Structures are given as C-alpha cells and as structure tokens.
Chains A and B, each alone.
Chain A
C-alpha cells in the first residue's frame, strides 16, 4: 500500500466514499435490497430437501390430456406461482376471470381446451432413483372450466 498526496483529490471525495461504503454495509446488515445496494443474501439461507411447486394439465375437447407449459406464459412460471399463492384469498370473480384467461391461453396454444387442472407438486430432493429424481407427488388443487375456478375437494 503506497500513500500519496491527498491534496489534489476533490473535497467531496472523502465524504462520498464514506457514505457510499457505509450504504453498502448498512443495506447488507439491514437486509434492504436498494439495488444496486443489495443485501447480498443470495443462497445465504439453508435449503431443505423438501420442495413444492405447481404443474398444470389441459384437457382438449377431443379428450387429450396435455401439459400446459407454465414457463412459456407471458409472466413465466414465477408469475403463475405468484398468482396461485394469493389465489385462495382472491374474490370468486377474480379467480373466475383468471381461470378464463388460462383457458383461453391454453386453447390458443394447444387447440380447443375445455378444462385446465392445476396440481400442487411435492418432491424430496434426496429421493433419487439412480441418476434421476424420484417421481413427484401431485395433488389436484384447482380446476378451471368455462364456468370458473373450482377448488379440489
């Protein structure tokens, strides 16, 4: 480390550097994500081997059952998951409207669809079968029809 003549540094250099570096530390300690002053918490919390997610299947008018590709939805899988997280608390009208949107979207992609089944998926990461993950456990959560959303009993 070599020192130097600090006289030609601008007057604001010292307070600016101090505030800048303090903001970096304070945001991390406070857990605030004031991007680009991030909290740097990525992957900091322990993961468990129990995982949950969502899957959807569509049933066409001809009776064919096909996977409804959630990842290719306009808001992606995360948008779908975020919608379903608040789905039970939404009003009936809001749920019905969302379901109609999904039905229309599925029909546009896969041909005439009369039903979309939404499943809650659970799996255990440590449950491996050879080099592959063990089959996932699917539980029906919601059914979307033309007349609206129906919770699985």
Chain B
C-alpha cells in the first residue's frame, strides 16, 4: 500500500514538474507548424463528397454525408491559417482550437472511408494537451510584441523604449505538465502498439513469416520491401527490433539517456516503414521529436556556436 502511494506521489510529482516557458512555446511552434504542414500536404479530395462507402467515424455522424470537396478545401485553408497563427502565438485561445477542429474533421473524413489511419493521431492528442495548457503555451517565443509595435507605428503612436534588461526565464508547473503528459502519451502510444501485437499474435509476430507476408502482400512491393521479404532472417530481425522497441519505449520516461537511443530508433523505424510499405508516419515521429527534445537548450547551443559570448545557463529537462 505504501509502495503504491509512493508510486502515485512520485508520478504526480513528475507530471506536475516545473519547466521553462520557452520549452512549452517550442512544443507549440513545432506542433502547430507540423499541423499546418500536414494539412497542406495531405490530399483530402479523394474522400471528400463520397457517399456510397461512407462509414462515418463516430464524431462524423454529425454530418449527413461526407463534406464536399469545397468544404474540405475551406477547412484546409482555415486550418492552415489558424495553425500558423497559433504557431506565432497569436490569439491562441481561438486559433489553436480552430486549427484542431479543422484537422479533426478532415482526419475524420479520412477515417470514415473504411480504414483506420493513425499517422496523425498522436499529433492531434498532443495538440489537445496544448489546448488544455491554455495561455501558458503562448507566454514565450511569440510575435505578439513585434506585431503590437508595428500596429502602434501604423496608428501613429510614439514607439515605446525597448527593455534592455534580460528577462528572467519563467519556469513553473503550468509549463511543465502539458509536456510531461505529452511525453507519457507518446510513450503509451508506442507501448500500446507493441502491447496489441503481444495480445493478438504473441511471439509468432516475430518468429513466423508475418512480416514477410505484410511486405509481399502489397499491391506493388518496392525493392526495399522485396529485399527484406526475400531474406527470412532479416525479416525476423526487423520484426524483433520493432516489437522490442515498442514494448520498451516507456523506459525513456525513467532513463532519460535512453532517449538518445530510442527516439532515433523509432524515427528510423518509421522511415523504414515508409520506404518498405509506403505508409507515412512522419507526423507521429516528428511529434515524438518535438515533444522530447529540449528546444531551449538546442537554441542556446546554436547561439553559442554562432556568437561565443557567455549566455545564461539553460536548465536541463
């Protein structure tokens, strides 16, 4: 009982940890730019306007039929503009939910066509946490200041003197909890993908020819797919690697050094899946990178490289 209480207290303490406001801002910029990119690149036209095979995803039941191509285009444009405004930190309470809703409907359309597409699900889950963080995500690295100055200049008001003092780095649990919850969500997503393989297939997922049949089973397997599928030992190796990685991924939450191994490995796995199966999981692995990298430290490192003047020490995360 005492152990369980300690575990709950420790987890609670870990999630509600204090973090740098800029780190949450970096996650906001990264996720919103990624969302804008996904909305711009994904073609929603093929599913727009369909009715005969419309198997509505649960929230798509709100629509009588699949939204038309014109509606899809309007949602796409609106979503991109809102996501970019949110990335810039402008009217975050309005722009972020707007971008989220547009993406939710467009992804709902893709998921209402008889096939589950999970590639963007993790991005959407992390955006949900960003929305829940409310204004905290917009308290650093925004363009609000420069925009205000420009508006003031246009309005003819005299420009205010710029503060020259270095602002203290804001830290707090209000910036930390969305990031830590997103880290757990990423770890859970990988773990659950592995867990389902253990649950429905068990060890034969690795020891049988399952991966070879997946690769051979495509309409037009490419050279990468055939190279792996034609070599049973290599197929078992990749299957074992993928299952091992997914199952052990939550260790990155407890042993931060493992992030240097697991995060590049997971990105490599997704790139391998893209090369061999043509399935695009870029939104998922880029979300993982955006959430786990300590961006203020990266920015400080770049600044030091560009101008070797002493800077404030960055806090580890």
Contacts and interface: CB of A to CB of B under 8 A. Distances in A.
Interface of A: 1-10, 12-14, 16-17, 20-21, 24-25, 28, 33-49, 51, 74-76, 78-79, 82-83, 125-126, 128, 131, 133
6 contacts: A6-B12, A10-B134, A10-B174, A21-B188, A35-B57, A48-B213
A2 B17 contact: yes
By CB atoms of chain A within 10 A, which of B107, B192, B208 has the most? Answer: B192
Given A46-B208, A82-B114, A34 B58 contact: yes
Nearest to A17: B181
Contact of A6 (B13, B104, B134, B254): B13
Given A9-B177, A79-B52, A3 B189 contact: no
B111 A125 contact: no
Given A9-B172, A42-B116, A46-B201, 11 more contacts: A4-B18, A4-B19, A5-B18, A9-B174, A24-B125, A36-B120, A39-B196, A74-B50, A79-B52, A126-B209, A131-B230
A104 to B, nearest CB: 15
Contacts of B53: 75, 78-79, 82-83
Contacts of B210: 46-47
A39 B197 CA distance: 12
B289 interface: no
Nearest to B221: A133
Contacts of A3: 13-14, 17
A84 B200 CA distance: 28
B216 interface: yes
Contacts of A9: 16, 172-174, 176-177
Contacts of A6: 12-13, 16-17, 173
B192 A47 contact: no
B201 A45 contact: yes
Contact of A40 (B107, B118, B184): B118
A41 to B, nearest CB: 5
Interface in B67-99: none
Main secondary structure on chain B at its contact with chain A? helix
Nearest to A71: B219
Given A1-B254, A126-B209, A44 B200 contact: yes
B20 to A, nearest CB: 11
A44 B188 contact: no
A33 B22 CA distance: 34
Given A8-B172, A47-B210, A35 B121 contact: yes
B214 A40 contact: no
B18 A44 contact: no
* Top 5 A-B residue pairs of the complex, sorted by shortest distance between their CB atoms: A4-B18, A6-B16, A9-B173, A47-B213, A44-B196
B209 A40 contact: no
A24 B192 contact: yes
Contacts of B200: 41, 44-46
B15 interface: yes
Contacts of A44: 193, 196-197, 199-201, 205
B290 to A, nearest CB: 16
B146 to A, nearest CB: 28
Given A24-B192, A125-B213, A78 B172 contact: no
A93 to B, nearest CB: 16
Nearest to B16: A6
B176 A4 contact: yes
